[in-house]
Structure 1
């Protein structure tokens, strides 16, 4: 196993650990402010209450509903940076912003339900908001990590602007071209403005040297009244 694979696995474990802590903070928030008991054990809740009260007294983690949720959001955001996955073409930045914004609003600003006695609605809305933020975070990470997937063969970075002007004189040979640049096709020209200097055409057998280049040289030079001696040597 390579060092890079070990590093990736270690990073994935760290991201999972951060997300687990984030979920624990959300669960602790729900229990501390709703006191909904799901385990039939008084000793268990005594220990949990003691731990949560110690956290609250030391750092004010549960002084209000926002503190623990903000820490959970921070850890969730950090954990999403290590997420990998295949980019979904149906997901756009508009979807991500809408889901993320709704998730944040529902997750953070639902404390008004507690004074009204809607504990279970508070729990459900918090969970749904957290899921919305998790989904948007994963989508953002995938979009950022896979922004090159639309250009699998790096065509954009390997393309460049070429000559599009027709530079013609009584001796020139002008070969029309098409090239891809900035996500669209352009028409251009290969301008051999001084064919009296040496010209060489390189390519493998069958690559189209004669069709694309040599034939243009022959036709254009004949049209301009030049005589030509062409020696086409074949290596065997």
Structure 2
């Protein structure tokens, strides 16, 4: 369940301030900014905590610090990890309908939440805010399409390679020896996201390591040594230069 965040020290940046810095274009009106502060609900969570459980009201959540996963619940306790989200992201947690949805923190996490309906109403009256939400929604749709292709048509190795390329573009740190990933999710979380088993995830990482495409250190640190080669293993069409860490501020 959600945990309301106590007031931070005066010199500590609050989640709403991080939201303003990460999300709001400079063109957003002062009136809209004031209204956003009225609507904002600061939330904090520890790793594994359900921040928002299935309910009748949709919410938009900004990840100010940390990372989270969005999970859909079907009958008979069948869960599907829909997406992972990181600092700078906006996440739409839909209202309960045919399925329920829960946002779980992957570690210590600071967020600010908005009831979706009044936020979207405000966006209709402020073009700059509306354009930003639309842009992020289109990015989410693009990622959703890519995942649909991976789950529906790709082999286990292609799914794992696609996941790693996507993580490189969102949270990768470029260096002289490739792209470094410090993954906040467990291998079980990755497996649940890709529709595979933990054993398959480990086996495919081993095969990609043996192919010289990556190096692993522990359970969560991965260095991608050949990003174009990994993209080819993912079944991606050649697109030229692959950006690293460029898509962190992402969609709803």
Higher relative contact order, chain-length normalized (CA < 8 Å, sep 6+): 2
* TM-score normalized by the length of structure 1: 0.21
| Higher share in strand | 2
Q: State the structure with more CA Rg.
A: 1
| Higher share in helix | 1
* TM-score normalized by the length of structure 2: 0.20
